[in-house]
């Protein structure tokens, strides 16, 4: 809290960030906790999210610094306050006196135990403020279960580069409707627009008109590879939150979007309405849904471990241990089989996962081709496809460390297939 005319004023953004961090200890992702910030103003909600994300991206580095000055392990609530102030000062450039005073006031507001720890927090953070080697500390590593698997797949040097990309975070990318004028930003070779900083999206040109939507550059490539034509009947399976549905509809396809979640499908409807696009929305289990008329093409962005999105979701490594990957892979295989069964001869399927694990990408493709001899891979030949993105089998393997000088991209596996027999 800050002091104004002798009265304590709550620091909403910092309290919001601490509430999100506390929720992680309960096993809840940041996305699951949006309701915890509803009492804050829009600006404070955004700042609370940014602060929590920054703490998670630099958690291990903050603990390394704090360990120099702590005599014993603090309580979890105090540890979060210490990490927040450390990251604010050493990473975000917050003035030390402001960050330290706010941290002390936050501790004093946590009851008797917090008041007892306030002196320790003050003393430790005043020493942290003088730390000069923050930039020299190693990047935050991935958890061992994931790092080991990725080193086996890509090598140690590549994984270190991915970890650096995760720590750097993710810029905002936009997908444009055909013919729309882009807000000011970098036009990427794939056609996405990358924004600088953290602008208020609703204030940007084209938001109210629905000229664009937020979508990571890698996520946008799955629909591009499907290459739908106006009037084609397309199924978008596991469609929410709807970025790919919007792409397909904007290309003139007759889209049926299927997702099992009513709540997530409501977001798809909102996005379609804002962008003045249409699609048939079906809330159903994608494994059980079957249209009356076979589709010309199917886009299957399957449920996965989401290990390719850590640069924008740094909470995931703290909440997952890899135990569920085998079950998710079984579900992916079943979804592929169902999609292939629905396709007519000549029909196309794009299978995509936002995962870095070969079990959810390269291995899935190899197994699908074995189970379905009538499938053939359509090797992408677009001029925006860089040689380093292609696997030997002709699929796209995208990684967070690609385009590092531009701000990276999410990790994705994407393959385009045709049913020939």
CA dihedral of 103, 109, 111, 112, whole degrees rounded to 10: 60
State yes or no: cis peptide before 387, omega within 30 of 0. Answer: no
Number of neighbours of residue 199 by Cβ within 10 angstroms: 13
CB 19 within 8 A of CB 36: yes
Task: Please name the helix (run of DSSP H) or strand (run of DSSP E) that holds residue 258, with its range, or none.
Answer: strand 254-259
- Which of 238, 275, 304, 354 is flagged as catalytic? 354
Query: Is residue 354 annotated as part of the catalytic site, yes or no?
Result: yes
| Dist CA 124 CA 129 (whole Å) | 9
| Dist CA 307 CA 329 (whole Å) | 13
CB 57 within 8 A of CB 167: yes
Task: Please name the helix (run of DSSP H) or strand (run of DSSP E) that holds residue 371, with its range, or none.
Answer: helix 362-371
Strands 375-377 and 412-419: antiparallel
The closest of 398, 393, 302, 412 to 351, measured between CA atoms, is: 302
192 exposed, middle or buried (CB, 10 Å; 0-12, 13-18, 19+)? buried
CB 234 within 8 A of CB 296: yes
- Return the half-sphere exposure (C-beta side, CA atoms, 13 A cut-off) of residue 30: 23
| Dist CA 80 CA 88 (whole Å) | 12
* DSSP per residue, 25-79: HTT--SGGGGGGGTTS-HHHHHHHHHHHHHHHHTHHHHHHHHTTT-SSPPPHHHH
Question: What six digits make up the tokens of 404?
Answer: 């590092």
Q: Supply the DSSP symbol for 390.
A: B
Rg (CA), the chain: 23
| Dist CA 87 CA 57 (whole Å) | 9
Q: Where are the alpha helices (DSSP H) in 210-283?
A: 220-226, 243-250, 262-274
| Dist CA 345 CA 347 (whole Å) | 5
Catalytic residues: 354
């Amino acid at each position: 809290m800050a002091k104004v005319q002798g009265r304590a004023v709550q620091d909403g953004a910092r309290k919001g960030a601490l509430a999100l961090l506390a929720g992680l200890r309960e096993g809840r992702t940041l996305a699951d906790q949006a309701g915890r910030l509803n009492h804050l103003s829009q600006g404070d909600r955004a700042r609370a999210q940014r602060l929590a994300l920054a703490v998670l991206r630099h958690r291990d580095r903050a603990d390394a610094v704090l360990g120099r000055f702590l005599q014993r392990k603090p309580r979890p609530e105090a540890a979060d306050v210490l990490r927040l102030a450390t990251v604010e000062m050493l990473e975000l450039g917050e003035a030390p006196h402001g960050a330290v005073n706010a941290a002390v006031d936050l501790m004093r507001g946590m009851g008797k135990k917090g008041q007892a720890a306030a002196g320790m927090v003050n003393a430790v953070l005043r020493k942290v403020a003088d730390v000069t080697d923050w930039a020299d500390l190693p990047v935050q590593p991935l958890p061992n279960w994931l790092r080991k698997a990725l080193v086996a797949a890509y090598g140690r040097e590549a994984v270190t580069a991915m970890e650096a990309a995760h720590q750097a975070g993710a810029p905002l990318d936009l997908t444009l409707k055909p013919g729309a004028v882009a807000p000011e930003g970098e036009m990427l070779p794939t056609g996405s627009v990358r924004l600088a900083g953290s602008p208020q999206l609703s204030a940007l040109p084209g938001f109210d008109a629905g000229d664009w939507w937020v979508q990571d550059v890698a996520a946008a490539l799955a629909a591009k590879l499907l290459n739908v034509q106006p009037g084609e009947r397309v199924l978008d399976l596991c469609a929410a939150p709807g970025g790919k549905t919007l792409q397909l509809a904007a290309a003139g396809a007759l889209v049926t979007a299927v997702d099992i979640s009513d709540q997530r499908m409501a977001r798809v409807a909102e996005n379609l309405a804002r962008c003045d696009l249409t699609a048939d929305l079906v809330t159903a289990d994608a494994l059980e849904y079957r249209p009356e008329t076979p589709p010309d093409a199917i886009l299957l962005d399957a449920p996965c471990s989401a290990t390719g999105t850590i640069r924008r979701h740094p909470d995931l490594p703290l909440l997952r241990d890899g135990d569920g990957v085998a079950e998710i892979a079984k579900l992916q295989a079943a979804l592929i089989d169902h999609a292939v069964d629905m396709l007519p001869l000549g029909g196309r399927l794009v299978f995509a996962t936002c995962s870095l694990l070969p079990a959810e990408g390269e291995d899935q493709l190899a197994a699908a081709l074995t189970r379905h001899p009538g499938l053939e891979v359509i090797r992408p030949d677009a001029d925006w496809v860089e040689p380093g993105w292609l696997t030997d089998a002709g699929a796209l393997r995208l990684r967070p460390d690609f385009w590092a000088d531009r701000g990276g991209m999410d990790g994705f596996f994407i393959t385009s297939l045709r049913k020939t027999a």
